[in-house]
Structure 1
Amino acid sequence: MKAKVDQDTCIGCGLCVQICPEVFRMDGDKAEVIVAIVPKEVEDACKNAEDECPVTAITIEE
């Protein structure tokens, strides 16, 4: 599973970082993905971050 953040859509709310810091971090005023492959043990949290993103900037690829 891979996660992506659309930098043009991201509003920098930081919610994804709060939900899944193992995958996301803030880079200035935008979120970014910090792992190439989402670790199995945080897949649910990563999917939750995708669901909770207020502007749907996160996409998950299986």
Structure 2
Amino acid sequence: MKKAEKLPERPDTPCVAVCSTTFDEICRGCGRSVVEVAHWVSMAPADKERVWKRILAEGYPRRNK
């Protein structure tokens, strides 16, 4: 990602308080891996944006309705 490229406005975190990684390594609420959740606060903005793009393409975050 180019340094001059502006990142889209996003919420601070994809977390939707529907946390579940009981049966696999991916949260059923936000779509992040256990490692991504654990390191989110220290990730660089460009790394967070890559995660956002992936989870949005996969249909996350998911909220209980």
| TM class, shorter-length | 0.3 to 0.5
* TM-score relative to the length of structure 1: 0.35
Which protein is bigger by CA-based radius of gyration?
Answer: 2
Comparing both chains, which one has the higher relative contact order based on Cα–Cα distances under 8 Å and sequence gaps of 6 or more?
1
- Which of the pair is proportionally richer in helix? 2
